[in-house]
């Protein structure tokens, strides 16, 4: 399916910039919002009139760790169904496992190359990467 609205939960301004740059690069027609931490994310999610179709969730964030946020989102009946992609630097198998265990839909390591990021976003947003059936580790290119 085509995702048209996104939420990015990441505290790193550089990563936020790169993300929007990538979106521009691939000419994705999506509305996207970003919040710098889990608390803000939950606030937005629970109060927004408009719920995003897809969430990109960083792990190493201040105040609330990404996994805590993931847990809480998944605990919320209204938000449970939103596919969440863990978007992080960490390639630790432990983190990958935890993400899977906590109900994330996919795991994407932040790539070294900018165009790799573009490629990944393209395939995700166009629905090439199946996000609703089981857990996917998005392969590095």
Instruction: List contacts with another protein (CB under 8 A).
Output: 12, 14, 18, 21, 89-94, 110-114, 117
Closer to another protein by CB, 59 or 104: give it.
59
CB of 25 to another protein, least distance (A): 10
CB of 89 to another protein, least distance (A): 5
The 3-class SS string of 8-61 reads EECCCHHHHHHHHHHHHHCCCCCEEEEECCHHHHHHHHHHCCCCCCEEEECCCC
Residue pair 130/94 in contact (Cβ under 8 Å)? The answer is no
CB of 24 to another protein, least distance (A): 12
CA 130 to CA 26: how far, in whole Å?
19
CB of 59 to another protein, least distance (A): 10
Closer to another protein by CB, 43 or 113: give it.
113
Distance of CA 16 to the CA centre of its chain: 12
CA 111 to CA 114: how far, in whole Å?
7
- Enumerate the β-bridge partners of residue 55: 7, 84
Closer to another protein by CB, 17 or 78: give it.
17
Closer to another protein by CB, 12 or 33: give it.
12
């Amino acid at each position: 399916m085509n995702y048209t609205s996104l939420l990015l939960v990441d505290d790193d301004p550089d990563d936020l910039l790169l993300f929007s740059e990538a979106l521009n690069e691939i000419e994705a027609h999506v509305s996207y919002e970003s919040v710098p931490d889990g608390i803000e994310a939950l606030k937005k999610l629970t109060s927004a009139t408009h719920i995003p179709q897809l969430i990109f969730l960083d792990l190493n964030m201040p105040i609330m760790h990404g996994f805590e946020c993931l847990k809480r989102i998944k605990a919320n009946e209204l938000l449970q169904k939103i596919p969440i992609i863990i978007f992080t630097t960490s390639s630790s198998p432990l983190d990958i496992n935890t993400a899977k265990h906590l109900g994330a839909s996919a795991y994407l390591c932040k790539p070294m190359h900018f165009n790799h990021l573009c490629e990944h976003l393209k395939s995700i947003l166009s629905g090439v990467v199946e996000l609703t059936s089981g857990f996917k580790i998005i392969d590095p290119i």
